Amino acid sequence: MATMQQDLPERVGVAIVGAGPVGLMAANLLGTYGVRCLLIERNGATMDIPRAIALDDEGARTLQAAGLDRDFMAGTVPAGGARYYDHQGRAFAEVGAPAPEFGFPRRNYFFQPELERALAQGLQRFDHVKLAFGTELADFSADDDGVSLNLAGGGRVRADYLLAADGARSAIRQALGIEMQGDTYPQDWLIVDTENDPDQEPVSKFHCRSDRPFVSIPAPRGGRRYEFQLQPGELPADMVAPDRVRAFLAPWRSLGDRDLTRIAVYTFEARIAARFSDGRVFLAGDAAHLTPPFAGQGMNSGLRDAHNLAWKLAAVLGGQAGPALLDSYDRERRGPAWAMVQLAVAMGEIIMPQAREDIAFRQGILRQFERFPQARDFIVNMKFKPRPRYEVGAFVDLHGQSFAGSLVGAMLPQVELEPDNSDHPRLDDALGCGFALLAQAPDTAEFLAREGGSLWPELTPAKVFLSKWAGAVPDGVTRLTPRPGPALVATRAHRDQILLLRPDRYVAAAFWPGDASAAVAAFRAELSACHGAA
């Protein structure tokens, strides 16, 4: 997989630094979109230790966009929910797994080295994408026309754009002088990854003890991850000794040497970069935001960065959009990324308090909510997690929709398909990786067939009629038969409109046939110069 420096291209559309999940995903998406790019990684191979452990439904959908979901997801463990225990070991709250909305279980446990290997192998599909292990960026300089990268040991590459996916201590971010805003989380946590665990229940277990809170999380291959909060005065160097770890786990399991995969101490941070871009250079993943792990959103937020930015870079490099579209990356991603950081902090404070008064406050709230199950579920199931929706960005009439159920600005739920007229089980597979126009009524499908050539032909959108209607389908439109379910119910809110879907599956516009010309002009304006206050 390694690429010798003499084999590196002299010019690419996008150079990516850092072959973790975010950089690898960005390279796969750009490869799918046909963008010539180079991914460099100073290490000699992908990492062989588990770090992130939960892939959410949005992250799995991004994997689907890269065409790598079917093989990889088969090896993950769908979450069965969560259970919360008090100091005496009594379960005081439990939530099950919610119904899938975006085509995958809401939470899936995985082994990160396997994900990185799958993503690295996925790049072998593309002649126009190069992955260079053992290659380090020495320095870079950006100008109005591109970015020049000087590599350690010699070698120079010129790129139109540079994506920094080089982690929490990003050298590129530091070179740009971009500050990280926020706080270092006030606790250190001992992380222990195990195999051959006797507890095979696919449920995350939060032990909200006053002496030492800890979490037990399912993992693939018969393992579990344990996270213990360290106490004041405990030194990380002392806590990572295997005998100390065995003592921690003794009440729950015995631990042989072969059962230990990794022991580490993490200092959790809740921070965000002052800006996600600087001219032609962009930050993504941990280089842009650092998230405590309680909500399992650190890597997943980075995957959202990759999908949001990759299609925009492809559109600009392909001449479908002007460079100003790239300004929407920071404006769209900043709010949701920070919301996920705050969610993780809230989970730590609500679910894992140590002070007696905080524990009493939490228990009192939950007792009061016994009379109001929906409110209680809102707290213990963390339903205040922000939905995938953007409040600013490349959308048409984002805040001027005529009904409350509009999906403009939101991620489209992924409908499952009947096999009668499609080889694909889910909507995204049938739509392909680019833009799409979606009709759900016979008259809008006929309009799409008749006038589709005037609806953003520069974007080459797929034209789809999603309906159980049994009549003839106009030429040029693909009929897909949906299965019933919540995703279809949400999508049917726009049954009399045509939806324009972005490649990241957010709804860019919803319009009636009579308003098509105005919608076309409005989204073209967004592509050429995304405007509006952040």
Residue 17, SS3? strand
The pLDDT of residue 229 is 81
φ/ψ region of 344 (left if φ > 0, alpha if ψ in -120 to 50, else beta) reads: alpha
- Whether 398 maps to a domain, the answer reads no
The pLDDT of residue 158 is 98
Shortest CA distance to 214 belongs to which of 190, 238, 232, 193?
Answer: 190
The pLDDT of residue 454 is 95
Domain boundary pick from 305, 323, 346: 346
- Whether 393 maps to a domain, the answer reads no
Do residues 190 and 263 lie in contact, with contact meaning Cβ atoms separated by under 8 Å? yes
Kindly report, residue by residue over 414-423, the tens digit of the pLDDT: 999 998 777 8
- Whether 28 maps to a domain, the answer reads yes
Q: Which amino acid is at 245?
A: V
Kindly report, residue by residue over 204-255, the tens digit of the pLDDT: 898 877 778 888 999 988 899 998 888 888 888 888 999 989 988 998 888 8
Residues 162 and 298 in one domain: yes
Q: How far apart are CA 446 and CA 390, in angstroms?
A: 31
Kindly report, residue by residue over 260-303, the tens digit of the pLDDT: 889 998 877 888 999 999 999 999 999 999 877 665 577 999 99
Q: How far apart are CA 46 and CA 368, in angstroms?
A: 49
Residues 336 and 441 in one domain: no
Residues 147 and 23 in one domain: yes
Q: What is the mean pLDDT of residues 354-366?
A: 53
The pLDDT of residue 359 is 53
Do residues 466 and 452 lie in contact, with contact meaning Cβ atoms separated by under 8 Å? no
Residues 336 and 437 in one domain: no
Residues 21 and 157 in one domain: yes
- Whether 464 maps to a domain, the answer reads yes
pLDDT higher than 50, residue 1 = no
Give 534's pLDDT tier (boundaries 50, 70, 90).
very low
Q: Which amino acid is at 121?
A: Q
Domain that holds residue 481: 427-528
Residues 329 and 439 in one domain: no
Q: How far apart are CA 106 and CA 77, in angstroms?
A: 11
CA-to-CA separations, 72 to 107, 162, 227, in angstroms, rounded: 14, 28, 25
- Whether 189 maps to a domain, the answer reads no
- H or E, element range at 28: helix 21-32
CA-to-CA separations, 188 to 126, 232, 464, in angstroms, rounded: 42, 9, 51
Residue 122, SS3? helix
CATH number of the domain residue 443 falls in: 3.40.30.10
Residues 33 and 132 in one domain: yes
pLDDT above 90 coverage of the chain, percent = 63
The pLDDT of residue 502 is 98
Higher pLDDT, 534 or 510: 510
The pLDDT of residue 533 is 36
Residues 42 and 153 in one domain: yes
The pLDDT of residue 498 is 97
Residue 341 in tokens? 């950081």
- Whether 117 maps to a domain, the answer reads yes
Q: How far apart are CA 495 and CA 137, in angstroms?
A: 51
Angle between helices 356-368 and 373-380 (to 10 degrees): 140
pLDDT higher than 90, residue 380 = no
How many domains does the chain fold into? Answer: 2
Do residues 501 and 516 lie in contact, with contact meaning Cβ atoms separated by under 8 Å? no
pLDDT higher than 80, residue 306 = yes
Q: What is the mean pLDDT of residues 502-523?
A: 97
Kindly report, residue by residue over 5-54, the tens digit of the pLDDT: 558 999 999 999 999 999 999 999 999 999 999 999 999 999 988 888 89
- Whether 510 maps to a domain, the answer reads yes
Q: In this structure, is the dihedral angle defined by the CA atoms of residues 487, 489, 493 and 494, taken in order, positive or negative?
A: positive
Domain boundary pick from 281, 311, 346: 346
Q: How far apart are CA 469 and CA 443, in angstroms?
A: 11
CATH number of the domain residue 68 falls in: 3.50.50.60
Residue 405 in tokens? 């159920």
- H or E, element range at 463: strand 462-466
Kindly report, residue by residue over 389-422, the tens digit of the pLDDT: 999 999 999 999 888 889 999 999 999 999 877 7
Q: Which amino acid is at 399?
A: H
- H or E, element range at 225: strand 223-229
Q: How far apart are CA 371 and CA 373, in angstroms?
A: 6
Global pTM exceeds 0.95: no
Domain boundary pick from 346, 372, 391: 346
Residues 131 and 30 in one domain: yes
φ, ψ at 232 (rounded to 5°):
-55, 135
Torsion angle of C-alpha atoms 141, 143, 147, 149, degrees rounded to 10: -20
Kindly report, residue by residue over 137-187, the tens digit of the pLDDT: 999 999 999 999 999 988 999 999 999 999 999 999 999 999 999 876 656
The pLDDT of residue 93 is 76
C-alpha atoms less than 13 angstroms from C-alpha of 202 in its C-beta half-sphere: 15
Q: How far apart are CA 377 and CA 360, in angstroms?
A: 19
Kindly report, residue by residue over 55-105, the tens digit of the pLDDT: 999 999 999 999 999 999 999 999 988 888 887 888 877 777 788 899 999
Exposed / middle / buried, residue 366 (Cβ in 10 Å: 0-12, 13-18, 19+): middle
Residues 48 and 164 in one domain: yes
Neighbours of 404 (CB within 10 A): 6
Q: How far apart are CA 265 and CA 263, in angstroms?
A: 7
76 alpha carbon, distance to own chain's centre: 16
Residues 331 and 439 in one domain: no
Residues 432 and 341 in one domain: no
Burial 197-230 (b: 16+ CB within 10 A, else e): beeeebbbbbbbbeeebbbbbbbbeebbbbbbbb
Q: How far apart are CA 257 and CA 81, in angstroms?
A: 30
- Whether 93 maps to a domain, the answer reads no
